[in-house]
Amino acid sequence: MRFDRMAWMVMLCVGAAVAQAQGCNVQDWRPIAGVSVTASRSGVEIVWPGEHGQQNRARFALRDGQPVVEELAAQKAGGAWIVLGKNLQPDFQVTTGRRRISTTELDILKHLKNDTPEAEEEYKWNVFWDAPLEIPGHDSHLVGPGRTPDEVKRATVSYNASACRVESDGDRVSVIFNGLALGIFSGDLEFTAYKGSNLLRQEAVAKTDAKDVAYIYKAGLKGFAIGENTKLEWRDDAQMWQQYAFGGDVNEQPVDLEARNRLEILDAGAGSLAIFPPPHKFFFARENEVNLGYVYYRKDSDSSFSLGVMQPEHGTGYAPWGVSDEVWNRRVHVARSQIYNYALYNAPPGTLQHMPVYYYLSAEGARPTQPQVMAYTHDDAYKPVPGFKTVTGHFHLDFNEMIRDRGTSDFMPTWVPVFRGLGINIVYLGDFHDDSDLADPGPRRFAEQKLYFEGVRKMSDKNFLVIPAEEVNVYLGGHWYLMLPKPVYFSHATPRPGNQTFEENDPAYGHVYHLGSVEDVENFINREQGILWVAHPRTKSSAMYPDQYKDRDFFLSDRFIGGSWESLPVDQSQQRLCEVRCFGLNDDMSNWAPKPKFMLAEGDTYMKVPSDETYPMLAINYLKLDKVPAYNESWSPVVEGIRSGNFFGTTGEILFHKWGIEGAGAKSVYTASIEYTFPLEFAELVWSDGAKVDRKIIRLTDTEPFGAKTFRIPFDATGKKWVRFDVWDAAGNGAWLQPMTPK
């Protein structure tokens, strides 16, 4: 009997399936091949296979209600275990403020006589012009009295955990501790390991019942030991390697590092531990991509320190530019005003907010670990896909003003290497926004347009096209964007001078247009074979658009392609980026119009420099296109490709190669092929009969990282007006196809 009891204990420790043990409930754990889960009275150990033959180990314990990471370790194939950290405490901090609707949205609601409490509550959560942590705030965008210091609360996590539980989901395993309290939030602490990956995710999953909450968080581990050779390494914004050996004084607050790629790496001797936030979902929309510092260290004593990720409490405007005092002062004003655009995350009452940080366990040193981590984002660039070209835009770079201020277009603006470094093939700009004589009826505006056309022609190159587009914003309602297949001179003074006609032959500029009405816009678009779309729909100055003109002829036309996609707002309870405002609108527009409408991913930001962290703030489009048109060729392949919906949007980690619908009616099959980096989370097929939207969710938690997958999804297309498809990964990155009309 004694032998049998000992044999049973051995099996319990080394088997993949384990029984329940005191302090850690494993009844929801299901065996995963190659993954070991070993429970004890105080906690649990997980061992899982990682990348390149590496094994990873994490041990968790519960001590007096406090979750503890007893050990993180990595092992090369056939090698010894390398300990990366011991006896670490999961650390979270949260800063909360009050969410307000901005005057921009509220004024539109009032103008349209829709400023009801219900409408204000709805549009409050789509706000862009808000900065809840700026005291007292900026009058031009602030509803009601100025903010007061008591609106801002800061809290550090505490735990009163009674137990942990282990759960499996596909090829991943999670350890969950209850009893997390984080200021006004309460919930669980979760750790998730992914088979085939060196990733370990730590997150607070918590909710609040408070109203009007906007927040940011810090997340990491504290209790790392300082040894003689301990050092932290990162690349600065010039991509030079830096290090800190914890020889300085003790820190009272986290020290945020403006680290390139949002990545810091703890050198643990023979191994290393990388720390970083989710590539895109961690970020909320701003008007620039200035690197504010998203990872931190904190020397807590002469013997220990903390590491983690963070959002700083304040934004920063871009570095101003200008040769003349006039331009310099104007650019300083615009740059400083961007401080008041720092909206934080939404936390509607009762929603489970996720506050993650990622660790990458490595049995190698910091320098070889860096490219392994960066492989998850293709080195923060958009990987080429055969048969596609990358497209993005809506950037207010004030290019023609810069040319006029310098007196020449023969220079290299700082934004060009940014786009080239990202792997962008086609960029459409947005001059005449806060610059130049945008409302001039002709003489000054045409001269500036001429410089605009000449400047972008010089910036264009082989496989790199810059299109002089414009956010026009007159006559239709709200803000809207215009793209044409060639340079065209036009004005849009409001109102148009009485002596001007819709079109004329100008002695200096040839055939020109003067827009003065909705009808003029429609005629102009049709004659010049352009496209238009609503910019930042259902937020900012388009708060009630395109809803307000959904029955107008210009919207119902197939030259009105739809709306722009931008990750705004950010609600960490949602599984998809821009889940409600963007994809909800896409479904609505496709139901309203005779043919499906599309969502064009774009930036809506200002000046850029190579040191910015542009990649995490951006999603782009891959357009089916064999070659990039030269500037002096027609851009119709770009315009008509977008108009036909022959593109997909992506954050970059998931890429489509092909897609389509086979068969017809009840025997339809939606097909799509992808490649991806992070382990996948789910895919969905979404369809509508023109009124009701339905979907089919395909769980993908059995995928390992760096793979390819082909989908063949049977569906009944009978009576369906449109169908669309999207895929999302475990870090919240995604790719989405445009709606199609099935047979």
Tell me the angle at which helices 443-459 and 399-406 cross, rounded to the nearest 10 degrees: 90
Q: Which CATH number fits domain 653-743: 2.60.15.10, 3.90.226.10, 2.60.40.1200, 2.30.33.40?
A: 2.60.40.1200
Is the CB of residue 182 less than 8 Å from the CB of residue 92? yes
Whole-angstrom Cα distance, residue 157 to residue 537?
37
Weakly modelled stretches of the chain, pLDDT under 50: 1-22
pLDDT in tens, 647-680: 999 999 999 999 999 999 999 999 999 999 999 9
Q: Could you give phi then psi for residue 228, rounded to 5 degrees?
A: -65, -35
d(CA 98, CA 134): 11
Distance CA 704, CA 682 (A): 13
pTM confidence score: 0.95
8-state DSSP, 179: E
- Identity (one letter) of the amino acid at 205? V
Instruction: Say what the pLDDT of residue 21 is.
Output: 34
- Which of the following CATH numbers is that of domain 388-652: 3.40.50, 1.10.260, 1.10.10, 3.20.20? 3.20.20
CB 544 within 8 A of CB 585: no
**Kind of pairing between the strands at 264-268 and 231-235:** antiparallel
Instruction: Kindly report the number of other CB atoms within 10 A of residue 421's CB atom.
Output: 14
Q: Specify the pLDDT at position 40.
A: 83
Could you say which DSSP state residue 12 is in?
H
Peptide bond into 637 cis (omega under 30): no
Burial class (CB in 10 A: 0-12, 13-18, 19+), 450: middle
CATH hierarchy code of domain 2-94+155-376: 2.70.98
| Whole-number pLDDT of residue 232 | 98
pLDDT for 139 equals 85
Q: pLDDT tens, 241-298?
A: 999 999 999 999 999 999 999 999 999 989 999 999 999 999 999 999 999 999 999 9
CA distance 433 to 454: 18
The label of the residue with tokens 């992506």 reads: 650
pLDDT of res. 163? 86
pLDDT the model gives residue 23: 63
- Rounded Cα gap, residues 98 and 121, in angstroms: 13
Q: Which two tokens mark 589?
A: 């527009």
By three-state DSSP, how is residue 219 classified?
strand
Beta bridge pairs of residue 429: 395
CA distance 557 to 531: 10
The answer to whether the beta carbons of residues 84 and 359 sit under 8 Å apart is no
C-alpha to C-alpha distances, 349 to 181, 207, 486, 572, nearest whole angstrom: 16, 7, 49, 13
Other Cβ atoms closer than 10 A to 190: 20
Residue 156 is classified by DSSP as: E
* One-letter amino acid for residue 290 of the chain: V
Q: What 8-state DSSP symbol labels residue 376? A: G
Identify the H or E element spanning 5: helix 2-14
DSSP assignment of 561-611 equals EEEEE---S-BTT-SSTTTTHHHHHHHHHHHHSSS--EEEE---B----TT
Which spans in 81-239 are helix H? 103-111, 117-124
What pLDDT is stored for residue 140 in this prediction? 87
| Domain extents in the chain | 2-94+155-376, 388-652, 653-743
> Using CA atoms, how far apart are residues 482 and 571, in angstroms rounded to an integer?
30
